[in-house]
Amino acid sequence: MKNKFLYASAFTLAFVLVSCSQSAPQKTTDGLSDTEIEQRIESVMPQLTLEEKVALVHAQSKFSTPGVPRLGVPELWWSDGPHGVRAEFEWDSWLYAKHTNDSITAFPNLTALAATFNPDLAYEYGVALGEECLYRGKHVILGPTININRVPVNGRNFENFGEDPLLAARMAVPYIKGVQSQGVAASVKHFALNNQETDRFGVDVEVSDRALYEIYLPAFKASILEANSWTVMGAYNKYRGEHCCHNHRLLVDILKGEWNYDGVVVSDWGGTHDTKQAAENGLDVEMGSHTNGLSSGRANAYDDYYLAFPLRDSIKAGKIDEKFLDDKVRRVLRLIYRTHYHNNYGKVGNEEHLALGRKVAGEGIVLLQNTDNILPLASDKKMKIAVIGENATRKQCIGGGSSELKARNEISPLQGLQERFPNAEIVYSAGYDAGPSIYGFVMPSRLNADSLKNAAVEAVRDADVVLYFGGLNKNFKQDHEDSDRQTYDLPWGQNELIAELAKVNPNVSVFLFGGNPVAMPWKDSVKSISWVWYLGSETGHAIADVVSGDVCPSGKLPFSIPVRLEDNGAISFGAESYPGVDHKQVYKEDILVGYRWFDTKDIKPLYAFGYGLSYTNFELGNIAANNNGKNITVTASVKNTGAVDGAEVVQIYVGKPNSNIERAKKELRGFQKVAVKKGASANVEINIPVENLAFFNADKHAWEVEPGDYTVYVGTASDDIAQELTISVK
Ligand code: BGC
């Protein structure tokens, strides 16, 4: 992969061409051309019986759809997603098949990938994931998950790219291109408005068209128009009273109408509810019905699927036009021919994939606080390190719901530190215990919380430094599918535990796992705070890289961390807005999602969107913005004024003062990550098409650029703006 990072020497000011776009898709497969695909489809279509066509549009097992054996049309094998290839299940149950060859590389979760603000890494991630799919015989990976983080307690936020539509789009597009460069289909999910897990099967979302088009659809639109994700997964929830898996407006009007989509819409597992709607409203493949989508259900229910015998019988009875089925079949055949007929076999668990996972993880870790530069720790020093917290040893890949993974090997933080700090005396004490991870149940720990806490407090007393590994985990009602978090506070008594540790030792560094913000009432009593997500196979190595300073942190928050849960826009409007009342929900904060709300309402978050520290310092200079009528070009120099090499993310936000319509104060319109050696400078140039300043005029159902003066904010976080410039747009 071409690395767009430019290292400029102190003497040369290299000019970095900065765009948020990633490398063009590299077709490494020798698959069929588009013309060949269409020819094959048309030659197969007339040979198919009604039964064969119906078979193609619904599952034959938990994760596969049939081909046409008689005609040599192959099957499709689907897999979760989105952070690696999931283990094999039994044909018709949610029990693991207990294969011994289905362990894989677990890549960092997508919020960690988003925190890198590095689209090139997203492309590499996609390629590697595609390779692992190929080796495991999978044709479709059920990811990326690209819903917007609307509330800070959504159980699946950790699978998303954060709260900003531009960031989500810029990371999703290269991920998809990377996966599909291997001849494996991506499946962007969950289309659309799947922004919470509470009542996920029933909640009916009401949202303005403006918020729909400006906040919730852009990442999907980019995934289709720029990356052509070969499949799209519908969401469980409803929108305007219709389930999203067969929602006419979302699938027929927008996806297949406005965006002219030629791929396959697959239902979420168990997300189909009606034969006629499924047939006529744009669903192409039905999966997981007659189970709760997850853990229970009727064996061999496949013939009863809405798009199985009931569809066949409705067509025979003249109640549903066969043309709807033919359209689905063409799409499924297109998917089959797109994902077969190439000579790639892929790879799994190889050194390159592990190294990539470690790189993404290292770039994704966000340093939030580092008083007295307590981090990094000198690895050659003799010292006593107290490692505290269950997450220092807990396996995180398994858990979380459908994104769970059977990692070949998962390096724990404790293990990573023991390897990297051989001269240190490392003691470990758990401090708290979260209990086991069991889908659908909260299983409280059987250990005594006070004894755990007291033992940890004793362990840190005479330590030189304390490294605390806590936060959330992937238990039910934490970062887990099918449930939202119940409180904003850290679970399992951690607030008290951290406060106690800080009382007896002044040198506490906190490392928080999680894909969702948490309250940090102990913030000022600890020296440093780092956000470490769920980093997959190489978790411990990547954390040790940052603790030792082998890697200089450069991650930025892809979401805001509110001081209090009520500070979040959606939550501030009460139950009608989140989580809904009687299965109805109104997105009352409208377009003011995430930092848009904090900025516009002048509410200070604990940590702002785009924020993240480094072990070095950067200064932005020579900032200029120019509008040539088509593009706004922002240029700036980034000087590394500190003592180590590092990378900074230049972020461009744009706002429109005195606008005729309601707007967010500012919105992210471009960004570029740039690596700069200590003492050196690099220049960045970020181009923003003027049309990207448009708002969605719902009355006219059209995008419109309001003429007049705009404010361009150039900075390194949404709350750290180096300069504001005015540009005028005609
Ligand atoms: C999830 C999907 C997942 C599917 C298959 C559903 O419950 O919502 O994201 O891909 O299951 O496991």
Instruction: Report how far ligand 1's centroid is from the alpha carbon of 268 (Å).
Output: 6
Whether residue 5 has pLDDT greater than 50: no
Answer whether 402 contacts ligand 1 (Cβ < 6 A).
Answer: yes
Instruction: Report how far ligand 1's centroid is from the alpha carbon of 439 (Å).
Output: 13
> Which atom belonging to ligand 1 lies closest to the Cα atom of 145?
9
Summarised one tens digit per residue, pLDDT across range 688-697 is 999 999 999 9
Summarised one tens digit per residue, pLDDT across range 172-184 is 999 999 999 999 9
> Which atom belonging to ligand 1 lies closest to the Cα atom of 189?
9
> Given the DSSP bridges, would you call strands 702-704 and 238-239 parallel, antiparallel or unpaired?
unpaired
> Which atom belonging to ligand 1 lies closest to the Cα atom of 81?
10
Answer whether 590 contacts ligand 1 (Cβ < 6 A).
Answer: no
* Burial profile 244-276: b = 16 or more Cβ within 10 angstroms, e = fewer: bbbbebbbeebbbeebebebbbbbbbbbbbbbe
What's the confidence (pLDDT) of residue 92?
A: 87
If you take atom 9 of ligand 1, which residue's CA is the nearest one? Answer: 402
Instruction: Report how far ligand 1's centroid is from the alpha carbon of 431 (Å).
Output: 34
Average pLDDT taken over every residue of the chain: 94
Instruction: Report how far ligand 1's centroid is from the alpha carbon of 13 (Å).
Output: 48
What's the confidence (pLDDT) of residue 28?
A: 45
If you take atom 3 of ligand 1, which residue's CA is the nearest one? Answer: 402
What's the confidence (pLDDT) of residue 300?
A: 67
What's at 538, amino acid-wise?
E
**Alpha carbon distance, N-terminus to C-terminus of the chain:** 39
What's the confidence (pLDDT) of residue 20?
A: 37
Answer whether 189 contacts ligand 1 (Cβ < 6 A).
Answer: yes
Q: Which residue has the higher pLDDT, 291 or 630?
A: 630
Answer whether 155 contacts ligand 1 (Cβ < 6 A).
Answer: no
If you take atom 5 of ligand 1, which residue's CA is the nearest one? Answer: 269
608's CB contacts (< 8 A; 6+ apart) are 557, 560, 595, 598, 717, 718, 719, 720
> Which atom belonging to ligand 1 lies closest to the Cα atom of 159?
9
What the block records as the tokens of 572 is: 């501030």
pLDDT band for 7, please (50, 70, 90 cuts). very low
If you take atom 11 of ligand 1, which residue's CA is the nearest one? Answer: 269
Instruction: Report how far ligand 1's centroid is from the alpha carbon of 109 (Å).
Output: 16
Within 13 A of 615's CA, how many CA atoms are on the CB side? 21
What's the confidence (pLDDT) of residue 295?
A: 44
Instruction: Report how far ligand 1's centroid is from the alpha carbon of 242 (Å).
Output: 19
- List the Cα angle 173/179/183 in 5-degree steps: 125
> Which atom belonging to ligand 1 lies closest to the Cα atom of 402?
12
Cα torsion angle, 519, 521, 526, 527, sign: positive
Answer whether 81 contacts ligand 1 (Cβ < 6 A).
Answer: yes
Within 13 A of 172's CA, how many CA atoms are on the CB side? 35
What's the confidence (pLDDT) of residue 344?
A: 85
Instruction: Report how far ligand 1's centroid is from the alpha carbon of 68 (Å).
Output: 26
pLDDT band for 22, please (50, 70, 90 cuts). very low
Whether omega for the bond prior to residue 579 falls within 30 degrees of 0, making it cis, is yes
Summarised one tens digit per residue, pLDDT across range 298-313 is 666 899 999 999 999 9
What's the confidence (pLDDT) of residue 297?
A: 61
If you take atom 8 of ligand 1, which residue's CA is the nearest one? Answer: 268
- Residue among 80, 198, 200, 266 whose CB has most ligand 1 atoms within 8 A, to mutate: 80
- Give the integer Cα–Cα distance in Å for 544 and 540: 6
pLDDT band for 29, please (50, 70, 90 cuts). low
Within 13 A of 196's CA, how many CA atoms are on the CB side? 26
Gyration radius (Cα) of the chain, Å: 25
**Of 80, 120, 204, 268, which is the active-site residue?**
268
Summarised one tens digit per residue, pLDDT across range 221-279 is 999 999 999 999 999 999 999 999 999 999 999 999 999 999 999 999 999 999 999 99
Instruction: Report how far ligand 1's centroid is from the alpha carbon of 187 (Å).
Output: 11
- What 3-state DSSP class applies to 528? strand
Answer whether 596 contacts ligand 1 (Cβ < 6 A).
Answer: no
If you take atom 6 of ligand 1, which residue's CA is the nearest one? Answer: 269
Q: Please confirm, yes or no, whether 464 is among the known catalytic residues.
A: no
If you take atom 4 of ligand 1, which residue's CA is the nearest one? Answer: 269
- Give the integer Cα–Cα distance in Å for 564 and 488: 8
Summarised one tens digit per residue, pLDDT across range 198-236 is 999 999 999 999 999 999 999 999 999 999 999 999 999
Determine contact, residues 193/235, Cβ cutoff 8 Å: yes
Answer whether 289 contacts ligand 1 (Cβ < 6 A).
Answer: no
- Average pLDDT for 464-484: 97
- Residue among 189, 269, 285, 296 whose CB has most ligand 1 atoms within 8 A, to mutate: 269
What's the confidence (pLDDT) of residue 266?
A: 98
Summarised one tens digit per residue, pLDDT across range 511-564 is 999 999 999 999 999 999 999 999 999 999 999 999 999 999 999 999 999 999
Edge-to-edge, what's the strand order for the sheet holding 631-640? Answer: 14-18, 681-689, 631-640, 618-627
